[in-house]
Structure 1
C-alpha cells in the first residue's frame, strides 16, 4: 500500500496518477530546462505557471500547452490542480514563494541556493514542518546515476580516509544578464549563489559536514558588477579534510572538474556536472588508473521523478532541507555577510 506525504492512501488504481506541477518563472531556466524536465518526467504533469506579468504567463501557457497562467502569487498557490511547485524565480524571492506554497498545501522543490540567508532557509523549513509537506532543494548533479554510485563507494571508504576535495566550474554566461543578477543583496553574491553553491554541494556530498570557510576571495573580472562573478574559497570539514572551490560566471572554458583525494586513492570527475557528458578517473595507491566515459544524464528529469517518489511513497531523496541550509551558511561565510 502506498501513502502520500499528506497521509492519504494511494489506491492501486491510482498508481499511475500524475503529480501536478506548477513552476515559478516563465523565462530563462524555468522555460528551457525546468518545465521541459517536468514534461518529460514519468508521473509528472506541468499544469500551471507563475510569471511576473499576465502577458508572460499567457505566452508561457501557449508555448507549453497548459491553461493555468498567473501573475499573482496568491492565485497561483490557490490552484487546486497543483500538487508540487518548482521555485525557479530570483533567489531573494525563494522564501516568500516557498512559504506561500507550503501554507497552501503544496510540496516544494526549490532551486539552488535555498535562499539568500540562513534565517530565510529556517523559515521555509518551519513552514514545511507546520504544513506537513515536502521541501527540498534542486541540486541536480546529485541525480546522476554514475556519480551517485561513485559517491557511495567514496563514502564507504573504498579510497580511504578523505584528505582533499577540489571543485572547479567556470560557466561563462553568453551575455550580460543584468537585472537582479547585478544586485548583491538580491542575488546573494552572484557567483557564490549561482555556481559556487553547486560546488559547495558536491564538496559536502563527498566530504561530509563542513566546519567553516577558512578563506575566500571574490572579484568581478568578467562583468564589472558590484557583485562578484569570480570566487575562490577554502573550507575545512569535520572529518579533518579540506575542500577548495573556484567558480566563475564569465570565464572560459565552461567546464567543471571535481577531484577528491583520500589516503589510499582518488576520484576525478572531468565535466559531468548538471548531467553533462564527461569522464571519471579513479585509482588506488600503487594501482593503475582507470578512466571511463561519463555519458549525458537527464538529471533535471530524474530530479523531478525522484521528488515525485519522495512525495508519493516516501522514497529516499538524495539530500534534505538541512543540506540547503548548511550550503547557505557556507555561502554567507564566504561572501562576508
Structure 2
C-alpha cells in the first residue's frame, strides 16, 4: 500500500492533541501539511512532525498537489462547505463530527463524494475500536438473548462561554458534540434504526442544548439516553437482553477517561470481561480510512451511516421542541 499524504485544515486543539499525532503514527499515512493563518499555532504540530508544510489559507492547502487527503476539524457550521470544496479539489475527506447539522445536508456530501470518486467520511472514531465490533458481534449473535433495552450516558462539564461548544452560531450544543456517540453507538451495535422519539427533554442556555434526556423506540427494543455538557464526566452504554447484559464502561474516550472494557453477564451468572488497554481508535480510524481510500476496502462508517445518526438527532430536536411546547 502506498502512503496517503495528509493535510489538516486549521490548527484546532483537538487536531493537535489527537488526530494529527494519529495521522503521524498510522500505517499508510503521512502528515505533510497544515493550513493556519496563525503560525504560532503550528508549534504544537511541528513538535512531532518537524517537516510539516505550512499553508496560510485553507484554499492554498487544497490546491497543493502533494496532498491526497484532508482532515477537517473546523467548527461544526463549516463542515459541509469545506468538505465539498475538498472533494471538488480531488482530495479524500475525513471531517469531524457532526459532519452536518441536518440530515438532508448529507445528500450534498454523498453527491459530491460520488462525483469526485474520492472517499469522504465523518470522523466517528468509536466504530473503529475493537470494543464496538466485539459488542456488535455479541449482541447480534445472541449472547444476551433478545435485546430489550439500550441505555447510554455521555456527559462532561464545560460552561466556558468562549468555547465554540457553547455558541449557537458555530453549531454548538451537547447533542451535536457528543449526542452523536450515544445515538451512533446504539445504531452501530444493533444495526437498527429508531422508529420514533416519544420523549425528549432538552434544557438550553444561550440557545444551545446543555442537557438532554431522551427516550426512543426501535423496532424490537427501547432506548434511553442522557447527554449533557453541564454534568460531571461519565460515559457508558448498556445492552440489556432477556438472557444477559453487555456493558461498555468507557465507550467514547477509550483509554483516555478509563480503560476500554467490555463485560458480559448472561444466564448462570457467567461473566466475560475483555479489555483493550493499548488500542488507539484515532490511529485505527486513519488506517482504515487509508486502506479504504487506496484499496477500496469497505469503510466501517460511510456517509450513509452518519446520515442515519443525524436523522436520529433531528428527530430528537423535533421531539424536544414539542415537549417544551407541551
Specify if TM > 0.5. yes
Task: Give, in whole Å, the separation in 2 of the partners of 1:216 and 1:273.
Answer: 22
Give the SS at the match of 1:323: helix
Task: Give, in whole Å, the separation in 1 of the partners of 2:51 and 2:107.
Answer: 33
Task: Give, in whole Å, the separation in 1 of the partners of 2:56 and 2:79.
Answer: 16
Task: Give, in whole Å, the separation in 2 of the partners of 1:139 and 1:114.
Answer: 9
Q: CA deviation at 1:55?
A: 3.2
- Residues 142-291 of structure 1: matches in 2 within 5 Å? 142-173=127-158, 176=160, 178-187=162-171, 190-207=173-190, 208-220=192-204, 224-237=205-218, 239-252=219-232, 254-276=233-255, 277-291=259-273
Task: Give, in whole Å, the separation in 2 of the partners of 1:61 and 1:176.
Answer: 25
* Alignment check: 8 A CA contact 1:171 1:195 kept: no
Task: Give, in whole Å, the separation in 1 of the partners of 2:308 and 2:182.
Answer: 13
Task: Give, in whole Å, the separation in 1 of the partners of 2:287 and 2:276.
Answer: 21
Give the SS at the match of 2:112: helix
Task: Give, in whole Å, the separation in 2 of the partners of 1:298 and 1:314.
Answer: 23
Aligned to 2:301: 319
Q: CA deviation at 1:85?
A: 1.1
User: RMSD of aligned C-alpha atoms?
Assistant: 2.1
Task: Give, in whole Å, the separation in 2 of the partners of 1:313 and 1:114.
Answer: 24
Q: CA deviation at 1:76?
A: 1.6
Task: Give, in whole Å, the separation in 1 of the partners of 2:164 and 2:73.
Answer: 13
Give the SS at the match of 2:157: coil
Q: CA deviation at 1:114?
A: 1.7
* Alignment check: 8 A CA contact 1:92 1:186 kept: yes
Task: Give, in whole Å, the separation in 1 of the partners of 2:269 and 2:86.
Answer: 52
Change (3 A) 1:212 1:47: farther
Change (3 A) 1:177 1:145: farther
Aligned to 1:112: 97
Give the SS at the match of 1:210: coil
Task: Give, in whole Å, the separation in 1 of the partners of 2:173 and 2:267.
Answer: 39
Q: Gaps (5+ residues) in structure 2?
A: 322-326
Task: Give, in whole Å, the separation in 2 of the partners of 1:84 and 1:20.
Answer: 6
The total of aligned residue pairs comes to 314
Give the SS at the match of 1:295: coil
Give the SS at the match of 2:85: helix
Q: Gaps (5+ residues) in structure 1?
A: 1-14
Q: CA deviation at 1:27?
A: 2.4
Asked if 1:306 is matched to 2:285, the reply is no
Give the SS at the match of 2:249: strand
Give the ranges of 4+ consecutive aligned residues of structure 1 lying more than 6 Å apart after TM superposition.
Answer: none
| 1:332 maps to which of 294, 311, 314 | 314
Task: Give, in whole Å, the separation in 2 of the partners of 1:101 and 1:285.
Answer: 51
Give the SS at the match of 1:274: coil
Change (3 A) 1:236 1:296: farther
Give the SS at the match of 1:260: strand
Q: CA deviation at 1:177?
A: 5.6
Answer with 176-185 or 160-169: which moved more: 176-185
Change (3 A) 1:43 1:278: closer
Give the SS at the match of 2:314: helix
Give the SS at the match of 1:157: coil
